[in-house]
Amino acid sequence: MRSLREPTKRLLKSPAKSGPKKTELIVALDFPEGESALKVMRTCADLPVVWKIGSELFLAEGPDWVRERTKEGFRIFLDLKFHDIPNTVMKSAVQAASLGIEMFTLHLAGGPNMIRAVRDELEKKVTGKKEGKRPSSEARRPLILGVSVLTSFDQPTWDDVSFAVGGKTAKVADSVKRLVSQARYWGVDGVVCSPHEIKTVRAADPLLFTVVPGIRPKGAKAGDQARVMTPKEAATLGAGAIVCGRPVTESKTPKTVIEKILRELDTPVGMPVKES
């Protein structure tokens, strides 16, 4: 039996439908197995957090583990970054949606046919729109998030990749802008972008929901993230949600770290963050 209060399950909505809202906190569960992840989740069950499950944890524990977490009321972001032929990604997205998750990722580089196949099938399977059914208020598909340029890329590394693909180098910001400018028309609800690309994304399409990894509280190590920012800085720029992983999961007191980040997000610009 759980001694902690069950977390309230809330669905994030696309800004196109819900308008501006407070920046959400997503915690990346950077664990190789479920026991450690679940310990952190249950310790922090009373906090307004979305939990990100990536490839490592998903492959270790499988879809049933994810389904159990959503049944318990935990809000889940499945970050598997689908990228394959349209039919394969579409079927994968349907399986992901069946787990009760709130959002999932795919690569924008998969192109419009892949993304539209996913969007159309989820609308059909989850909301029944394509079958002429009246959508239920409870029948909500997960948010589709497009990945542009991974936050682990710095400019020199992206020069290598962009040259290999296109025969000439490209600025990270320019590549992000070109990808996201068409993203919503292809069918995504939002994009994953570096904190340093928030302005670029909002200029290209202000209706896109932005999920921003590469977040490190002041004083934390950057790790393998090349383009980082503090929670408050990203929120001030208009991030829809920020993602923070190892500063939380590697801490001996993860709840304290999460609470501090949440206080930072609640603190008005220019005001000091309360320590407790």
CA angle at 13 for the pair 8 and 19, rounded to the nearest 5°: 120
Handedness of CA 64, 66, 69, 73 (dihedral sign): negative
Full 3-state SS string of 179-231:
HHCCHHHHCCCEEECCHHHHHHHHHHCCCCEEEECCECCCCCCCCCCCCCECH
Catalytic residue among 21, 22, 39, 81: 81
Q: Any catalytic annotation for residue 221?
A: no
Burial 120-151, CB ≥16 within 10 A → b, else e: ebbbebbbebeeeeeeeeeeebbbbbbbbbbb
Q: Give the Å distances, CA to CA, from 266 to 20, 91, 157, 259, 261.
A: 15, 39, 35, 11, 9
Residues 99, 13: Cα–Cα separation, whole Å: 18
SS3 assignment for 249-262 = HCCCCHHHHHHHHH
d(CA 15, CA 209): 6
Catalytic positions, written as ranges: 81
